[in-house]
């Protein structure tokens, strides 16, 4: 009978003292020649992560890694903060205010009072019509004089 003073009968000592997950990753052998199925990868990066902060104080408190820039959206106001840090880690913030513009059906931008600046009022159209009529009468006067001079020159030269 073998001498066994350290371990009880039937006890097998543990061969692996590392955590199971670390040991399994280091010594993984493929079980078969067939590769494991992989999840499909998106060709476009997902940049839809919006970082919400609570006011300017929240934007100032947000930590940014050196040489990076992040967009911080204010949850209290219509403001976007662009916070960036230089190579030494010194942060700087640019504040952007955004407004939502209403676009009518004919793609003409309306001002805040709902009136487009691209349309003329009736008074402006009437004033313009009077000016055009005055210019037209002047042009008619010049053409009448020049045609009389031309007729006179033609009759003098004959």
Q: Comparing C-alpha atoms, which of 87, 93, 33 is closest to residue 61? A: 93
Please check whether residue 20 is in contact with residue 54, taking contact to mean a CB–CB distance below 8 angstroms: no
Please check whether residue 96 is in contact with residue 69, taking contact to mean a CB–CB distance below 8 angstroms: no
In this prediction, residue 63 carries a pLDDT of 93
Q: Find which of 38-47, 65-74, 100-109, 144-153 is predicted with most confidence, using mean pLDDT.
A: 65-74
- Percent residues over pLDDT 90 in the chain: 39
How far is it, in rounded angstroms, from Cα 133 to Cα 116?
27
Of the two residues 34 and 75, the one the predictor is more confident about is 75
Please check whether residue 51 is in contact with residue 64, taking contact to mean a CB–CB distance below 8 angstroms: no
Is the model's pLDDT at 15 over the cut of 60?
A: no
HSE-up of residue 8 (Cα within 13 Å, Cβ side): 1
Q: What is the pLDDT of residues 22-36, one digit of tens each?
A: 545 555 555 555 555
Of the two residues 132 and 157, the one the predictor is more confident about is 132
- Give the residue carrying structure tokens 């793609």: 107
**Burial class, 87, CB count within 10 angstroms (exposed 0-12 / middle 13-18 / buried 19+):** exposed
In this prediction, residue 69 carries a pLDDT of 94
């Amino acid at each position: 009978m073998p001498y066994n003073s350290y371990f009880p009968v039937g006890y097998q000592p543990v061969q692996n003292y590392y955590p199971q997950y670390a040991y399994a990753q280091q010594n993984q052998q493929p079980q078969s020649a067939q590769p494991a199925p992989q999840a499909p990868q998106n060709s476009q990066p997902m940049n839809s992560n919006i970082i919400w902060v609570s006011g300017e104080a929240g934007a100032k408190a947000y930590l940014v890694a050196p040489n990076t820039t992040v967009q911080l959206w204010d949850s209290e106001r219509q403001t976007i903060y662009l916070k960036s840090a230089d190579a030494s880690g010194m942060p700087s913030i640019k504040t952007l205010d955004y407004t939502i513009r209403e676009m009518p059906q004919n793609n003409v931008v309306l001002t805040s009072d709902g009136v487009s600046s691209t349309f003329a009022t009736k008074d402006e159209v009437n004033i313009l019509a009077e000016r055009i009529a005055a210019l037209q009468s002047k042009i008619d006067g010049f053409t009448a004089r020049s045609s009389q001079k031309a007729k006179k020159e033609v009759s003098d030269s004959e």
